[in-house]
Amino acid sequence: MKLTINSIKRPAGTIMMMIVIITMGIASFFRLPTNMLPDITYPMVKVYVYWPGATPEQIENEVASVIERKMATVDNLDYIESTSEEGVYTLLVNFDFSVNRDVAYQDVLAKMGLIKKELPQGILEPIIFKADPSQLPVVEILVSSDNMSLTQLRTWVENEFQEQFASVKGSAGTALSGGMMREIRVHIDPVKLQGYNITLSEVNDRLKKENIDMVGGRMLTDTRDYIIRTYNEFQSLAEIENLIIRKSGTDGQIVLKDIAKIEDHHGLQRIRTKYNGHEGVRISIFKQAEANAVTVSDLIAERLKTLRQELPPTTRLEMIYDQAEYVRLATNGVRDAMLMAALLVILVTAFFLSGWKRVMSLVLSLPVTLLGTFFLMQLLGFSINIFTLGGLVVAMTVVLDNSVVMLENITRIQETEPDTHDQITKGAIQISGAIVTSTITFLALFIPFLLIPGMTSLLFRELVITIAIIIFLSMLVSLTITPMFMALFYPEGKPVKQKHSFIARISDKFINGLIYIYKPTLHWSIKLKWPVLIVFLLLLIPGYMFLKKTGSEFLPTANDGLITVKVIMPTGTAMEETDRALSQIEKIVAQQEYIHGYATLAGGKIWGLVTTESGFDGELNIQLVRAAQRPMNTDEYVTKLQPEIMKAVKVPGAIVKIFHTKMKGIRQTGQFDIELEIAAPRSESMQNIFKQATALRNELKDLEFLTGLDISLRLTKPEFQIKVNRQKAFDLGLSIDDIGNTVKTMVGGNVATRYKDGAYYYPIRVVMDERKIQSPNDLENIFVYSKTGAKIPLMAVAEVVKTTGPVQIDRKDQDRVIKVTANVAGISVGDATTTLKKQLKNYDLPAGYRLNYGGQSQMLAENMQQMIIILLVALFLGYAVMVLYFESFLKPLIIIIRIPLSLAGISFALYITGTPVSVTALIGIIMLTGMEINNGVLLLTFIDELRAEGHTVIEAIKEAAMVRLRPILITDINSLFGLLPLALVIGDGTEMLQPMSIVVIGGLLFGLLLVFIFIPVVYAILYGHQDKKQLKPVTV
């Protein structure tokens, strides 16, 4: 090839190009951002609509139905799912993976713009954003104090402290939760209100009209320009207390303090946040989409260090969560695995290659490939994350393969043809065709990842492209730099002195020993070719059996030490009771070993930018110490902790779930491993659907592998419904709206205006003292004023009825859905799903009802199907490239047909290590396919060359197998040792990639038999009858 010849003839230019690539690579490496995951934007848009005080039924009827009816017409829609809870509506609009994310987002914005006018009054501005992992908090801090009340603390954090992080480079705002929000509360005394015959609307109106800061216009004089303002805002609580509501008699007047008590107080606390038992205010800090998570975290840590020195000792700043902490551990762990793999590969290569010059030819070429990869990664906008680093580790096993094959062939020419003048050029050109073909075939295997849209392609895109870059660069290096260095170390025309060191003699004896065993084995295998072929084909049976026993899952669980304890109290439970139950768990957790810290949230849920309130919900998030500092992984710790926590919670009706926290940033289909969705039309009542869900749960309760079996919905949330007698209300001059607004103001309060204190504003809420509303009788005694001014007790026109309602209403594609949820223990999610489908095969539901499989089981099924399609397309493309090279349909088939036979080695390796089949394992199969194709091309190409020189088929097979034994063995052993750090999970963050390495190792070990026995046997069967027939030489 001209490229190889020019590299050998022009070493100065080649070396200069090396220096340029290395320099650019070093610069790129330090500019690459470091993140947990690749830059991913899922094809999902989230919509949040807040309607304070609205019930789930109201939200479903007036918000969900309106929005979803319109949203169902959006182009490229996959499905929509929603949740209607008290005061908040959540909509997830899921698009096809092929859609442009920005276009999908704009489509949702356009639809919401059309829908807004149809939504009821009182809702807040909808929040709409794309599902982007970069929107997750990069750092979460808890601020607590011993000398400030929770109201003072929240006010200080909200007004002043959180602004300290706004100037941190790369930060993108904060969100607060916990503490108590300051507000001025006007506690109405209903008795005095009735005595003075004053209405609530009168009080609200006076507060609003007497608190004014209004621009009146401009006044121009000859020399000045003045702004005119009517400024009369409340300056103190005394002003509010003395606000005149109405005149009384001739000279008297009624002021606000006559009918109400004014307090500088706080709103009702709905959410309580704690860390290690200290209650405080949680600050979630976000980063900009393009910012480096580790850099932002480091800058925040520096700011916290400064702030701790400035704040009094009584104020504590505790780190709840730091995304960069696991990013550092994971990237450092994968980086160490990569360096260890590189060292092992170099040592193995040095063992088999005789002479330090040959080893140096490899070592000097390695930085070009790696640093050149970093340069291209920066051009493509990639980051250093667990997947790209994993790609580097996996590619490290093949990064030297092409150069090893090149060196070994040159060395063979030097040893067997010492009189040849241009040994290096001849050896390089002779093998270049096989290297180019095998590399192009390898690269073709990755094309489906770019063509077939889906979750797997999206998540692993950077990984496979990184591997492809390294393989491509390794080919260029093997064709240019490696022969160039060999030409420098061994000038052509000069005899090569063969010096065999002690290690070289050992490696030669090892290879010769293998040849001594392999030669007769190959001879008898070819002689008994049909029985040998049948034996190999029969190995598919145990391979399939082992594969069935391994189970399946979407992704391996990371040993990140994150554990969630979810507590669901009986519906209607107050937040304080939920907090008391969590405190019992806190005491148990505090006594455990290997706990780094634990954060508690009582009364709601927090996800990114959104906080939802639910008094009976709570959770405790545990962070264990580093994996190296504890004797068990996260899942084992969950098993150990579960019985101790279950004993601690002594609350009747409370449900406690303990599980390994799902990895943040990776899109999950549902929250649990198993989610059985019972879907029914909206015309079906929630009670009827709930009965079917209960029956389904009872059907599954005896399955031991299901833990935390539960129903997603509660229908027992207590509420008091005010049933108004329309006729009586009409006769007394009352409207339903008057009654509803009066009750809302007295119970929930109404923000009449705002109180300015310094530069900040706080709501002035008119409300009845919560301590005076403790029973239905208190509600019935509320007075409502008619339009004529008559005061009428609520009991005269309405009845207060105690009832129950749903906590939330879930919908999917506009149908109501109730889920039966569970996590899986003891077996894989795939096996659990298979067992469930068998058990529920004949399960009957009423007409109109459907049973769908959601959760991780749905995600697993969808992505496994996608990966199988990718694998089949990859095999087809690999076959197509080889057909073009060999100009034969049959020879590439010899190589491709052995890929399924690797199943025996793959499944056995997965079985003995207890590793389920996952998406990363299937990516390992694609890697293994590329390696096996390389070996096959290397062997068949040389057989054809020997036959072209006049050898018989059997002679060519035997000689080619003996000659190619050494390079194939070296490359395979390199791969085996290079993957050991991943297979043994050396370092944090390598768990995700372990199945990939196990698949490749198992496949390669069995693949040695396939390449050295199976391929020769099949070739002999197909071409043995053409003995002594000359073949046209293969040209590239």
738-788 per-position pLDDT tens digit: 888 888 888 888 899 999 998 899 999 998 887 778 888 888 888 888 777
Section 349-372 average pLDDT: 82
The per-residue DSSP string of 789-851 comes to S-EEEGGGTEEEEEEEE-SEEEEETTEEEEEEEEEE-SS-HHHHHHHHHHHTTT----TT-EE
* AA identity, residue 348: V
In the block, which residue shows the tokens 């996952």? 918
Q: What percent of the chain has pLDDT over 90?
A: 27
Architecture per CATH, domain 1-31+353-490, reads as: Up-down Bundle (1.20)
Which of these, 684, 522, 667, lies nearest to 43 by C-alpha position? 667
Confidence band for 28, pLDDT divided at 50, 70 and 90: very high
DSSP 8-state secondary structure symbol assigned to residue 788: T
User: What is the structure's pLDDT at 152?
Assistant: 93
Q: How far apart are CA 581 and CA 654, in angstroms?
A: 9
Residue type at 440 in one-letter notation: I
Look at residue 269 and tell me whether its pLDDT is greater than 90: no
**31 beta partners:** none
Could you tell me the sign of the dihedral formed by the alpha carbons of 162, 165, 166, 172, in that order?
negative
CA separation for the pair 328, 385 (Å, rounded): 10
pLDDT (average), residues 5-11:
88
pLDDT on residue 739: 86
8 near 410, Cβ under 8 Å? no
CA atoms within 13 A of residue 199's CA, in its CB half-sphere: 16
Q: Does residue 250 carry a pLDDT above 90?
A: no
CATH for 44-131, among 3.40.390.10, 3.40.50.1580, 3.30.70.1430, 1.10.10.10?
3.30.70.1430
Is residue 499 scored above 70 in pLDDT? Answer: no
Q: What's the pLDDT tens digit per position in 585-639? A: 999 999 999 999 999 999 887 665 567 788 888 999 999 998 888 899 898 999 8
| Chain segment 193-227, per-residue pLDDT in tens | 888 888 888 899 999 999 988 888 888 887 888 88
Please tell me the least confidently modeled range out of 212-221, 502-511, 790-799.
502-511
For tokens 């634990």, the residue is 598
Question: Which DSSP string corresponds to 29-52?
Answer: HHHS-B-SS-----SEEEEEEE-T
Task: For residues 839-859, give the mean pLDDT.
Answer: 85
Strand 88-95 with 77-85, pairing: antiparallel
CA distance 263 to 183: 9
- Tell me the pLDDT band of 419, cut-offs 50, 70 and 90: confident
- What is the rounded CA–CA span in Å between residue 645 and residue 252? 65
Q: Which candidate, 750, 768, 1010, 988, places its Cα nearest to that of 905?
A: 1010
Q: Is it the case that residue 68 has pLDDT exceeding 90?
A: yes
69, 814 contact by CB (below 8 A): yes
With helix as H, strand as E and coil as C, how does 756-778 read?
EECCEEEEEEEEECHHHCCCHHH
CB-CB contact of 700 with 839 (8 Å) = yes
Residue 500 binned pLDDT confidence (cut-offs 50, 70, 90): low
- The per-residue pLDDT for range 947-1002, each reduced to its tens digit, is 888 889 999 999 999 988 888 888 888 888 888 888 888 767 778 788 988 999 99
Model pLDDT for residues 805-815, shown as the tens digit of each residue: 778 889 999 99
User: Angle 94-321-334 (CA atoms, 0-180°, nearest 5)?
Assistant: 80
Residues 6+ away with beta carbon under 8 Å from 860:
552, 553, 554, 829, 830, 833
Residue 764 has what pLDDT? 93
Q: How far apart are CA 1030 and CA 1026, in angstroms?
A: 9
| Residue 496 confidence (pLDDT) above 80 | no
Count of beta carbons in the 10 Å neighbourhood of residue 723: 10
Mean pLDDT for all residues in the chain: 86
Q: Is 244 helix (H, G, I), strand (E, B) or coil?
A: strand
Q: Which amino acid is at 414?
A: Q
Report, as an integer, the average pLDDT of 502-520: 85
Please state the domain extents for the chain: 1-31+353-490, 44-131, 199-258+718-805
Neighbours of 720 (CB within 10 A): 13
Three-state DSSP at 505 gives helix
Q: What is the pLDDT at residue 1028? A: 47
**Extended strands (E) in 276-411:** 278-287, 315-322
Q: What is the pLDDT of residue 610?
A: 67
Q: What is the CATH number of domain 199-258+718-805?
A: 3.30.2090.10
The confidence band for 494, taking pLDDT boundaries of 50, 70 and 90, is: low
Gap between the Cα atoms of 232 and 265, Å rounded: 23
**Residue 89 exposed, middle or buried by CB count within 10 Å (0-12, 13-18, 19+):** buried
**H or E, element range at 1013:** none
Q: Coil, strand, or helix at residue 392? A: helix
Segment 163-182, tens digit of pLDDT: 999 889 988 888 888 999 99
Characterise 855 by phi-psi region: left (phi > 0), alpha (psi -120 to 50), beta (else): left
Please give the Cα distance from 886 to 438 (Å, whole number): 12
Q: Is the pLDDT of residue 1034 over 60?
A: no
pLDDT (0 to 100) of residue 998: 92
710-723: pLDDT as tens digits: 888 877 778 888 88
